[in-house]
Amino acid sequence: MMTGPERRNAIINQIKTSSVPVPGKALAAHFGVSRQVIVQDIALIRAAGHDIISTNRGYIFHESRSVERTFKVKHTDEQIRDELYTIVDLGGIVRNVMVNHRVYGHIEAILNVDSRRKAAEFIDDIRSGKSTPLKNITSDYHYHVVEADSENTLDMIEEALKKKGFLLEQEEWEKELFQNRDLS
């Protein structure tokens, strides 16, 4: 007997690998459960962040056309605006900011900055509050997961950050850390 989590993982796999929409009725028959259980499973799968679309012919997995890259950067507080504008102007979305503190460990905050307006709002929030940017607890060293429509766009962002002197080379342990994390 399959558990609920096992069934949901199998449903994800079946929908992802199918070249045609997968009807809920077919999933129910395959797993020996009711159609309502499948509907509930799909709701839980979506809540977990999977983009499954219901069509009149069945379920399909919405393939994201985006890619992500983790950038290690260092700059002053005054350069935050320039860093964020550089990324969004080239088509990137700054998903988060992360630091690796020697005492506190990995600390991450979601940003989702995808425009100059959102970048300006973020900077205004930092300046008007009693807090300082997260990067300040690690001598300005920090990381961003940046999402874009293609590797080419990420390459352009990387080159621009490098030209401005913000980009740092990641050490092997850092590459492994971010490669093995689920950042979605």
Q: What is residue 130's predicted lDDT score, i.e. its pLDDT? A: 75
184: pLDDT confidence band, cut at 50, 70 and 90?
very low
Cα separation, 182 vs 1, in Å, equals 29
Q: Which residues contact 83 (CB under 8 A, 6 or more apart)?
A: 73, 75, 161, 164, 166
Q: Are residues 147 and 107 in the same domain?
A: yes
Q: State the chain's mean pLDDT as an integer.
A: 91
Q: Are residues 52 and 136 in the same domain?
A: no
What residue numbers bound the domain in which 162 lies? Answer: 67-179
Q: 144 labelled as ligand-binding?
A: yes
Q: How many domains does the chain have?
A: 2
Q: Are residues 28 and 13 in the same domain?
A: yes
**146 pairs with which residues across the strands?**
69, 94
Q: What is residue 180's predicted lDDT score, i.e. its pLDDT? A: 54
Q: What is residue 183's predicted lDDT score, i.e. its pLDDT? A: 42
Cα separation, 145 vs 68, in Å, equals 6
Q: 142 labelled as ligand-binding?
A: yes
Q: Are residues 78 and 141 in the same domain?
A: yes
Q: 75 labelled as ligand-binding?
A: yes
Q: Are residues 84 and 133 in the same domain?
A: yes
In a domain, 184, yes or no: no
